[in-house]
Amino acid sequence: MYGYIVKRLLMLLPTLIGAAILVFLLLRLVPGDICLIKFGGEGAYADPEQIKQCQINLGLENPIYVQFWDYMKGFFVLDLGTSMWTGKDVTYEIGVRFELSLQVAIMATLTSIVIAIPLGVISAAKQNTMVDYVVRGFSIAGIAMPSFWLGILMILGLLIGTQEFMGRPWMPPISFKSIFDDPAHNISQLIWPALATGYRYSAVATRMTRSAMLEVLGEDYVRTARAKGLIEKVIVNKHALKNAMLPVVTIIGIEFAFLMGGLVVTEQVFNLNGLGKLFVESVTQSDYTLTQALVMLVVTIFVFMNFVVDVLYAWLDPRIRYS
């Protein structure tokens, strides 16, 4: 087991280094130059001297291999540099927004679990009936509906709903306050994006629950349980559900990792100042240092979640060989 964990950990390294190289290469192909955008943006006159100085300051004048060396060294000494746009530390820029994105991701994951597991179980227990079709339709609709549109509809619904029942329109608060300082304010702001993304991500988990349940319900021991006259409810809830949870846990773990990156669109709709919005901004501003740090953060979270899920899987299911 320990050997397996160490081996899997070592296998993460080439992926992460490969991702770092890919990000570097991708961004160096970007035609935009941050100094031009910063000083020459919106038709303003750009002093060539000023631009040159800016490029020297940011290290953009160095040969590409020097830039690459500085970049790779940064990861190992955990110095991600300063944002080329704001001039503040990248770690500061990310740190300010990390809590918001993490909280939305956690809340969205919880939402998707609450939706997915009951629906998946019902759908499997009533396979090929009307209930099954409705649940499957509901979950496929969740994948089909763009989360930004769902977000717009939610805001619209809130405006109209509060206008009807409270007499004046109410909007979720714009500014972010930590859940530890002002829970009511915090929840009333973040519950909506969490619901919108949670519904979308529940779709995959619902289908996973359904197919895992169907597989388990076809096992011999379930037939035995039926043969000895157990009620169906007990069979489904006690005998089948626990054994069907393994793949569901996996998919939820992997989705959580994707959520951190997938919030890009949702944060835009709800105007949340999180990592997704920061990413869109840094991409449009050609802010290399910030973009590469953000992408690497998302990739690292994703790769590590995968690792944790794999190890959990091997630990929970002894039949899996550590190869």
> Which residues in this chain contact another protein in the complex, by CB under 8 A?
14-16, 18-19, 22-23, 26-27, 29-32, 133, 136-137, 140-141, 143-146, 148-149, 152-153, 155-156, 159-160, 169, 207, 210-211, 214-215, 258, 261-262, 264-265, 268-269, 279-280, 283-284, 286, 291, 295, 298-299, 302-303
Task: Provide the minimum distance between the beta carbon of 270 and another protein in the complex, in angstroms, as a whole number.
Answer: 10
For 128-157, b/e burial (b = at least 16 CB within 10 A) is eeeebeebbebbeebeeeebbebbeebbee
Task: Provide the minimum distance between the beta carbon of 124 and another protein in the complex, in angstroms, as a whole number.
Answer: 9
25 within 8 A of 292, measured Cβ to Cβ? no
205 within 8 A of 248, measured Cβ to Cβ? yes
Token readout for 160 is: 């109209």
Task: Provide the minimum distance between the beta carbon of 169 and another protein in the complex, in angstroms, as a whole number.
Answer: 7
Task: Provide the minimum distance between the beta carbon of 290 and another protein in the complex, in angstroms, as a whole number.
Answer: 12
Looking at beta carbons only, is 179 or 222 nearer to another protein?
A: 222
Token readout for 300 is: 């690292």
Token readout for 312 is: 């959990």
Q: What's 274's DSSP letter?
A: S
Looking at beta carbons only, is 83 or 291 nearer to another protein?
A: 291
Task: Provide the minimum distance between the beta carbon of 115 and another protein in the complex, in angstroms, as a whole number.
Answer: 18
For residue 217, with 0-12 CB atoms within 10 Å meaning exposed, 13-18 middle and 19 or more buried, which class applies? buried
Looking at beta carbons only, is 86 or 162 nearer to another protein?
A: 162
CA-wise closest residue to 298 among 14, 21, 98: 98
Looking at beta carbons only, is 149 or 184 nearer to another protein?
A: 149
- Give the integer Cα–Cα distance in Å for 312 and 320: 11
Task: Provide the minimum distance between the beta carbon of 21 and another protein in the complex, in angstroms, as a whole number.
Answer: 8
Looking at beta carbons only, is 224 or 284 nearer to another protein?
A: 284
Looking at beta carbons only, is 21 or 231 nearer to another protein?
A: 21
